[in-house]
Structure 1
Amino acid sequence: MKGHVDSRVYNAFVNLGFGFKVNSKLSTTGVFSVQNHNIQLKRGQSSYLLHELGHFVAALKGRADQTSEFKKIYNTEKNAYVGNNKAYVTQDAGEYFAESFRDYTENASVLKSQCPQTYNYINGLVNSISDKDVSDFYNTYGWYWN
């Protein structure tokens, strides 16, 4: 993961003590869990990991995938999404955000040209990840892990 995602995302994930593991018994391709303090993947595929990291970023930034600002962007741009598994990805703002984060990480120029508001929103979030975000997240959810 290190070197494949923005260092702020990687450092927040590591500093909060999150981990990831492969669990072939999952009924889905992956799951991000605050409570379990990890990302589980059905198999070790980078696109699945990046999607689940998108859920992590959304959570870290205060459920950024559920804000009225992002829901407006989602409703405006979801039909422009042309990536894999469009029906699943565009079913709700959370999945759209997570998959758009994967696109942002793997091929930012395509996301920027097809869904520029989505790109700008995610880019702004990633660039604003701070130590305060990490401490706020820990203060909110750390009791799960202790």
Structure 2
Amino acid sequence: MAPKANANVLSAFDKLGFKIKYDPTVNYGGCFNAHERTITLRFVGDDTIYHEMGHFLAFVAGNVDRSSDFAAIYNSEKSKFTGINRSYATQNATEYFAESYHDYILQPTETKKKLPKTCSAISDAVKKVTPTRVARVKEIYGPFWK
């Protein structure tokens, strides 16, 4: 699935019943859907999974990518983002968080040097993914999930 992702994030993905689907007919690389509890990927073995896991992390940690604190970090560091998907990643804080998580996992040393505040926010989000938090997410969203 995403072997380099944080163990607690992977555990939460499993415990909350999220699944990965592959669909080569879609016109996008990946899509996180909290309502359906899925990540849909176009290609098997693509590192897009880490971007989509970034969306999952933000969701489970309390939609941290939509917080005013993260918005300030996004505005202060987005110009330093130099990844391949720069124009997509820097269009808004949500995509920036997800793509930064991708780089945080796959290129940790470089990413921490370039985007220290962003990486600190990601690290804080990872720490929020505890069994208690996962149980709370299940309690809140469980009635909406089939």
- TM-score under structure 1 normalisation? 0.95
Work out the CA distance in 2 between the residues paired with 1:62 and 1:92: 18
Report the equivalent of 2:15.
15
Report the equivalent of 2:80.
80
Identity %: 34
Cα pair 2:2 2:50 within 8 Å, conserved: no
RMSD (Å) for aligned C-alpha atoms: 1.2
Deviates more, 1:73-82 or 1:129-138: 129-138
Work out the CA distance in 2 between the residues paired with 1:87 and 1:41: 20
Work out the CA distance in 2 between the residues paired with 1:103 and 1:2: 13
Paired residue secondary structure (2:47) = helix
Spell out, residue by residue over 1:3-48, the C-alpha distance to the aligned partner (whole angstroms, 9 max, x if none): 3211100000001111101111222111011111110001124421
The runs of at least 4 aligned residues of structure 1 exceeding 6 Å deviation read none
Report the equivalent of 2:134.
134
Matches within 5 A, 1:44-83: 44-83=44-83
Cα pair 2:41 2:48 within 8 Å, conserved: yes
Cα pair 1:34 1:141 within 8 Å, conserved: no
Q: Give 2:21's aligned amino acid.
A: K
Work out the CA distance in 2 between the residues paired with 1:8 and 1:80: 28
Q: Following TM superposition, by how much is the alpha carbon of 1:142 offset from its aligned partner in structure 2, in angstroms? A: 1.2
Q: Structure 1 residues 110, 32: CA separation in 2 closer, same or farther (over 3 Å shift)? A: same
Spell out, residue by residue over 1:46-93, the C-alpha distance to the aligned partner (whole angstroms, 9 max, x if none): 421010000000000111000000000000000000101211110000
Q: Following TM superposition, by how much is the alpha carbon of 1:99 offset from its aligned partner in structure 2, in angstroms? A: 0.3
Work out the CA distance in 2 between the residues paired with 1:61 and 1:50: 16
Paired residue total:
146
Q: Following TM superposition, by how much is the alpha carbon of 1:2 offset from its aligned partner in structure 2, in angstroms? A: 5.6
Q: Structure 2: any 5+ residue segments left out of the alignment?
A: none
- TM-score under structure 2 normalisation? 0.95
